[in-house]
Structure 1
Amino acid sequence: MALAVLTLLVMALYPLAASAQQASLAPLAEKISPSVVNITTSTTVEGRTGPQGIVPEGSPFEDFFRDRNNGEGDRPRRSSALGSGFVISEDGFVVTNNHVIEGADEILVEFFNGEELKAEVIGTDPNTDIALLKVESEDALPFVSFGNSDTARVGDWVIAMGNPLGQGFSVSAGIVSARNRELSGTYDDYIQTDAAINRGNSGGPLFNMDGEVIGVNTAILSPNGGSIGIGFSMASNVVTSVVDQLKEFGETRRGWLGVRIQDVTEDVAEAMGLASAAGALVTDVPDGPAKDAGMEAGDVIISFAGNDVADTRGLVRRVGNSPVGESVEVIVMREGVSKTLAVTLGRREEAEGAVPAVAQGPDAEAGPEAKDLLGMTLSTLTEEMRSELGVEADMEGLAVTAVDETSEAFEKGLRVGDIVTEAGQQKVTSIAELEERVKAAQDAGRKSLLLLVRRAGDPRFVALSLEE
């Protein structure tokens, strides 16, 4: 009986296996290959005097290697690099990685038919590692379109194409292994794939089975420099926004809210009386759009432009994708009450290039007081402390002068030199004020107290338990 069941199962699965074996990616590869290009860059590298990098300075072999070099090491030389890209319009716009063409003096684009054309850089975005190039051709060029990366599912088949290890046009296939991967960038949204991606594949396309580009191959995770089945492609929905801006302006123009934020953790949510650990907690509001709209440190952003905010990463990406100058509705929770603010977004690139003003002025004060509270030794700020810690002259708060290494405060990262500027979302300038905040939280039945802590000027909220 068991043998009969096994036989029927094998017979049932055979048509599926046969179908999978008969399916071929060749028709799709033939269709999209003409739009994929190899990119070769050439860069002038300044010459070096002596045999640096060959033998140590002062080595008895130094003169030998200098003689063998015949002085050629002193001359500028040409360095070449290889990468991949793809054409997105018949008039010659080409997308690749910024790191493929960064610093290049000359960029050559080689097409599937062997034709080579010089390319000019239209614009680059180091934040997403995307570059937009342009080639001039008398004929309309074959091109591919972007697909919607948000519809890609884990397990969907994908094709990576490019110029791996300088071997020319090459195709590899795999599946979407994971979505929404973050590596190190603010706007990261990577598709992870096991399709083979190697050096030289950078800047090449990741296709879905409809022949649409859903990612730009950018990075691999590998201990040896070769593919081990963990590759990353920047999602097309991020790329299209960048490409549109590079095409129109030659640079990116991202929206800027003008706040410093952190994720809302479970203990922070409890300390603030929030229903759930969601949203983006505002730790600081410097001069900018948010401040002009009335936003305050301690506000929790729960909605931006009609979209719920789950965490800081999602908010940063959504703000960055919003047009500069657009007026958006931002809903915040403030002391348990929701408030709606109208914020006119600035431009992030301009804000990042600005030098923040530093407040200055005399600060007369009495001698410091100190006390052990919440696992820390805290002292009122003195002028000497401000100088030692490099903080602004008008900053007020309590300096952490010691931390019990067995305490929750130490476990949550509080260290000597930190400055507590708020407790329970109210400013504290003395030990007495902090004690009042502790008592008020206990009287209100809170299990923890929310502190605003600054280190080297950077603020973050920390919730510390009030239970013994």
Structure 2
Amino acid sequence: MLFPRTSNWVGAGALGAAMLATTALPSMADEALADLVESVSPSVVTVIAEQKAAPAPAQGQEFNFQGHPFEEFFKRFGGPEGFQMPDRGPGQGLGSGFVLDEDGYIVTNHHVVDSADTVTVRLNDDRTFEAEVVGTDPLTDIAVLKIDAGESLQAVQLGDSDVIRVGEDVVAIGNPFGLSSTVTTGIVSAKGRNISEGPYAEFIQTDAAINKGNSGGPLFNMDGEVIGVNSAIYSPSGGSVGLGFAVTSNIVDHITSDLRDDGQVSRGWLGVSIQNVSPQLAAALGIDETSGALVSDVVDGSPADGTLQQGDVILTFNDEPVDSSSDLPILVGTTKVGSESVLTVLRDGQEQQIELTIGQHQSAEAQVDGSVDDKLEGTSLGVTVAPLTETARAEMGVAETVDGVVVTDLQPESPAAKAGLQRGDVIVRLGGQDTISPDALKTALESEKTDPALLLINRGGNQIFVAVEIV
């Protein structure tokens, strides 16, 4: 049977229409991206940080040979007699930033302008202005600058970084290697990253190419809102390998508001040391979940003193869930000093509501203890201990209020060694019993019935819990 020739043409026409439709989709997406870039680019700036030349060291001072052709030789054998180091020339660093509001406030990274003698901002239209550093926050790597452009500037809109989803498209604009207005695209690779930059910063991970010079630049969502400030990359080579990190816009919003107010950041403070709840610790505490922040110590005179206790597990803060110990410092740090807050804690197996007044953060007081390998096997700890003398207390920085026994030796492959205990650790409590002497530790170990048991140790002035499995 012969089919009409026209049927073939109809099929070809339909196929052609389908091909046109599929090729039109990327074109429309490209147009949308180009429109977005065109609309926000005037708000992206270059930040130039300069350091003045430094004089050579005076006679008798140590020379700094860094960067000299014979650096390694001079380090080993010293400079020749009469050698005079030349003056250090002026230095210049480049970064990125964006206009926060029309009055000329600019956001960039702290590390871009740190130690700079002068800071200059170059706008998208190549006009340059000397900038005032309004304030910086090293703990979140955010800085606020101010320029007087003589007119209103086009500002960005900050988006809500809490509502973005992994997989969403993002756009980074900045000045990598001094190449201004460079645009790269990618996706949100992960949220809530902690890259060991401190407990008060939270990062979005992206595979959008970020290189040296992108620091301080904006990361946009597809609505043209800034959802992060590009701050760091992970790279063995120094170039982009698709692992970029941006401080979340919600953190940036809080920090910049504080800095614009008085040039300083006011952080809330509880005054506790906390750690994650491992499965072994959860079993020792008699709880089913491993979420929350376990209180391992309470600072005397802090807002938490007299309200929170060692062994409390903080589950929520002002109705916000605390899934891990890294969540709590951010929630507390962004809470207004002097405000009343409500915490849900798990204490002795029961949930309780606790109210307290948030204090002013003081440096080096609110701490997050690192995780420890706390799985133990066997029926003994495998440690040699000694009484905590006043001399040992002073040398190790143990507070007068802490009593216990000092670990002087550990048996290889012992339960204590496997748990990560170290020489110099002070064992404060085993289970519910204080271990103020070696005999008290032995008695507590023999009478402990909970499996696993809870061990409280003091290390370098900080107290942490370890779960001890007793077989």
Q: Report the equivalent of 2:69.
A: 54
Q: Residues 245-260 of structure 1: matches in 2 within 5 Å?
A: 245-260=258-273
Please tell me whether the aligned partners of residues 293 and 341 of structure 1 are also in contact (alpha carbons under 8 angstroms): no
Kindly tell me: are residues 217 and 10 of structure 1, through their superposed partners in 2, closer, same or farther at Cα, counting changes over 3 Å? farther
Aligned residue type for 1:340 = Q
Among 10, 18, 22, the alignment partner of 1:16 is 22
CA–CA distance in structure 2, aligned partners of residues 401 and 215 of structure 1: 48
The 1:393–1:248 alpha-carbon spacing in structure 2 relative to 1, beyond 3 Å, is closer
Specify which of 89, 95, 101 is matched with residue 77 of structure 1: 89
Asked whether 1:240 is paired with 2:253, we answer: yes
The corresponding residue for 2:152 is 140
2:468: which partner in 1? 464
Which residue among 400, 414, 418 is the counterpart of 2:407?
Answer: 400
CA distance in 2, matches of 1:63, 1:449: 64
Q: Which of 172, 185, 204 is the equivalent residue of 1:160? A: 172
Rounded Cα–Cα distance in structure 2 between residues aligned with 1:230 and 1:407: 39
1:293-313 Cα offsets, whole Å, 9 max, x none, are: 422222222222222322110
The alignment status of 1:151 with 2:163, answered yes or no, reads: yes
> 1:194-205 alignment to 2 at 5 Å?
194-205=207-218
Partner of 1:265: 278
Report deviation, 1:139. Answer: 1.2
Q: Which moved more, 1:171-180 or 1:385-394?
A: 385-394
Corresponding residue to 1:333 among 338, 346, 360? 346
How far apart, in 1, do the equivalents of 2:250 and 2:115 lie? 27
1:147 and 1:402, CA in 2 relative to 1: closer, same or farther beyond 3 A?
Answer: same
- The alignment of Structure 1 onto Structure 2 pairs a total of residues equal to 435
Given the alignment, which residue of 128, 132, 135 partners 1:120?
132
Provide the aligned C-alpha RMSD in A: 2.9
Q: Tell me the alpha carbon deviations over residues 135-169 of structure 1, each in whole angstroms, 9 at most, x when there is no partner.
A: 11221111111011122222211111111101222
Please, which of 404, 428, 447 is the counterpart of residue 451 of structure 2?
447
Conserved in 1, the CA contact under 8 Å of 2:427 and 2:435? yes
For structure 2, the 5+ residue unaligned runs are 1-11, 58-62, 367-378
Distance change in 2, residues 1:14/1:220 (3 Å)? farther
Aligned partners of 1:423 and 1:434 also within 8 Å: yes
How much has 1:430 moved relative to structure 2?
A: 2.9
1:407–1:63 CA distance, 2 compared to 1 (3 A): closer
Which residue identity does 2:176 align to in structure 1?
Answer: P
Shift of 1:388: 5.5
Matched with 2:38 is 30
Residue type of the alignment partner of 2:381: L
Distance 1:353 1:267 in 2: 27
Amino acid at match of 2:425: D
Q: Which amino acid aligns with 1:461?
A: F
1:295-334 to structure 2, matched below 5 A, reads 295-334=308-347
Could you tell me the percent identity over the aligned residues? 41
Change in Cα spacing, 1:118 to 1:419, as seen in structure 2 (3 Å) is same
> Does the Cα contact within 8 Å between 1:36 and 1:162 map onto a contact in 2?
yes
CA distance, structure 1, for counterparts of residue 330 and residue 26 of structure 2: 39
Write the distance in 2 (CA, Å) between the matches of 1:119 and 1:390. 44
Which one is further off, 146-155 or 29-38?
A: 146-155
| Residue pairs, 1:180-199, within 5 angstroms | 180-184=192-196, 185-199=198-212
CA contact (8 A) 1:51 1:62 kept: no
Could you tell me how far 1:448 is from its partner in structure 2? 1.3
In 2: Cα distance, 1:212 partner to 1:60 partner: 56
1:398 is displaced (CA, Å) by: 1.8
Alignment-derived partner of residue 370 in structure 2 = none
Contact 1:375 1:404 in 2 (8 A): yes
Partner of 2:418 in structure 1? Answer: 411
TM-score (normalised: structure 1): 0.85
Relative to structure 1, is the Cα distance of residues 27 and 388 closer, same or farther in structure 2, using a 3 angstrom cutoff?
closer
CA, structure 1 residues 21+391, in 2 after alignment: closer, same or farther (shift >3 Å)? same
In the alignment, which residue of structure 2 is the partner of 1:433?
A: 440
1:95 positional shift: 0.3
Shift of 1:423: 1.6
Structure 1 unmatched ranges of 5 or more: 1-6, 355-371
Say which SS state the counterpart of residue 409 (structure 2) adopts.
Answer: strand
CA distance in 1, matches of 2:339, 2:272: 17
The Cα shift of 1:115 comes to: 0.9
